[in-house]
Amino acid sequence: MPVFWNAAAGKLVERWLATGLAAAVYCLALVLAWAAGQPRPRQALAARLDTVGAMRPGEQITLLLVALVVVTGSGVLMRQLIFPSLRLLEGYWPRILSPVSGWLCARHTRRRVADSAAWRALYARLEDDPSTAAQPPLSASERTEYGRLEARLHWSPRDPALTMPTRVGNILRAAEAEPHHKYGLDAVLVWPHLWTLLPEPLQHELSTARQRLDDSVAAGLWSLLVLPAVYWTPWALLALLPLLVAWRWRLPRACQDYAILLQVAFDLHRQQLYRALRHPLPATAADEPRAGLRLTAHVYRGSDDPALVFDIGG
């Protein structure tokens, strides 16, 4: 029994650390903001601690339990807010914001067109295109610019109709659209099927990358929730710094890491999806987009196409 209780306690501590640590830090930040807004911060905190110390043991235990419930409940509630918050950060906004969304999408589209033209000009010189024979080879700064342009183009949708109003949205949308462009597969529709076929190490890496993505969203949300404490002290505006770090820098990087692994899953394991569904593998690279479209349609709505012959040996 002691072994059982030790294991149970360890799991509870692990669960609390996963859901309650960030909430505890948030509560501590609010307490510090409140204290900073008092004429004498140290005396104000000491007075509150003295009040708690003067309580009877039963009252102190009750207060501690209430605090633990509030902290843990806040952490659980935050996890429920991560997905809708990520959708907003991607650019899935209410209809009332359609004018703003349309303007931002058009801006991203214009930038992609300009980047694509600049990339093609540099690529032609890099590949010694005969039309650029009279031009000098790329300089070091031009090679750096070439790499920067290629990265920006990679993390933006090729189809202007798929453009999102935010950088995060474009990164994830580009990752979702890539299997369709290369293999004819709809990543959103077939992903649950492919996930069950992935090897465990890749599943673990994908789960870890997704957790980092969610943690970045949560970090920004916690920082955002500290800002109302500016009512007590302007020092609460310092929460803007972790907010910018979380959503401006860390979140796009986390999205890219997750998107790379998503593309790896399709690049290396899409054949298992064909075999599991008994679809014949495409014979050539040119046949693959058409085969992927047929497989996606079969997953989505079934098929009565007599030309589709299942691969019994698969």
Q: How many domains does the chain have?
A: 1
Can you give the residue range of the structural domain that contains 130?
A: 94-165
> Do the domain assignments include residue 151?
yes
Report yes or no on 139 lying in a domain: yes
Query: Which pLDDT band, with edges at 50, 70 and 90, does 6 fall under?
Result: very low
pLDDT digits 0-9 by tens, 255-314: 999 999 999 999 999 999 999 988 888 888 888 999 999 999 888 887 777 766 776 664
What is the reported pTM? 0.84
Condensed to tens digits (0 to 9), the pLDDT of residues 41-59 reads 788 788 877 787 777 888 7
What is the SS3 string spanning the chain? CHHHHHHHHHHHHHHHHHHHHHHHHHHHHHHHHHHHCCCCHHHHHHHHHHHHHCCCHHHHHHHHHHHHHHHHHHHHHHHHHHHHHHHHHHCCCCHHHHHHHHHHHHHHHHHHHHHHHHHHHHHHHHCCCHHHCCCCCCCHHHHHHHHHHHHHHHCCCCCHHHCCCCHHHHHHHHHHHHHHHHHCCCHHHHHHHHHCCCCHHHHHHHHHHHHHHHHHHHHHHHHHHHHHHHHCCHHHHHHHHHHHHHHHHHHHHHHHHHHHHHHHHHHHHHHHHHHHCCCCCCCCCCCHHHHHHHHHHHHHHCCCCCCCCCCCCC
Q: Which tens digit of pLDDT belongs to each residue from 100-158?
A: 999 999 999 999 999 999 999 888 877 665 555 557 777 888 889 989 999 999 999 98
**Could you tell me if residue 123 is inside a domain?**
yes
pLDDT value of residue 32 = 83
Is 197 a member of any domain?
Answer: no
Residue 79 covered by a domain: no
Whether residue 128 lies inside any domain: the answer is yes
Indicate whether 101 belongs to any domain. yes
Confidence (pLDDT) at 4: 36
